[in-house]
């Protein structure tokens, strides 16, 4: 794990022992937490209040990723990250970036390259 201060924000980056595991970075900027994960544009999970609910979401998401309960599907200028939690529930985020991002691509999640990331150990 690497922790560093960046412009008044505490950035934490997990370094997996398995080089194929999904990268995770979260930033604590005082009033909120930002969670970034994955290798494509779908990995920005957003900004959460720095309260019990926000901290619990970030913690449970990071635990699921460390345990290898995460997939990412890649399409043209987009990706979708899906995390499965201990209780079986899931959360996903689709992100877009690039020239083709604004063009609808029906069925891209079915045809895209799917990566199931292994646990950190």
Give domain limits for the chain.
2-117
Q: pLDDT > 90: what percent of the chain?
A: 48
Burial 84-114 (b: 16+ CB within 10 A, else e): beeeeeeebbbbbeeeeeeeeeeebbeebee
Q: What is the mean pLDDT of residues 68-80?
A: 91
Q: What pLDDT does residue 42 have?
A: 62
Q: What is the DSSP string of 44-71?
A: EEEEEESSHHHHHHHHHHHHHHHTT-EE
Q: What pLDDT does residue 38 have?
A: 79
Global pTM reads: 0.84
Summarize pLDDT for 13-36 with one digit per residue, the tens: 988 888 899 989 999 988 899 998
Average pLDDT, the chain: 89
């Amino acid at each position: 794990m690497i922790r560093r201060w960046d412009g008044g924000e505490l950035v934490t980056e997990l370094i997996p022992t398995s080089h194929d595991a999904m990268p995770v970075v979260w930033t604590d900027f005082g009033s909120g937490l930002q969670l970034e994960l994955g290798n494509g544009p779908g990995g920005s999970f957003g900004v959460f209040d720095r309260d019990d609910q926000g901290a619990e979401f970030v913690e449970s998401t990071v635990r699921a990723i460390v345990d290898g309960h995460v997939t990412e599907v890649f399409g043209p200028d987009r990706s979708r990250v899906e995390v499965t939690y201990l209780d079986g529930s899931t959360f996903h985020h689709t992100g877009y970036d690039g020239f083709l991002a604004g063009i609808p691509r029906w069925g891209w999640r079915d045809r895209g390259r799917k990566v199931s990331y292994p646990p950190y150990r």
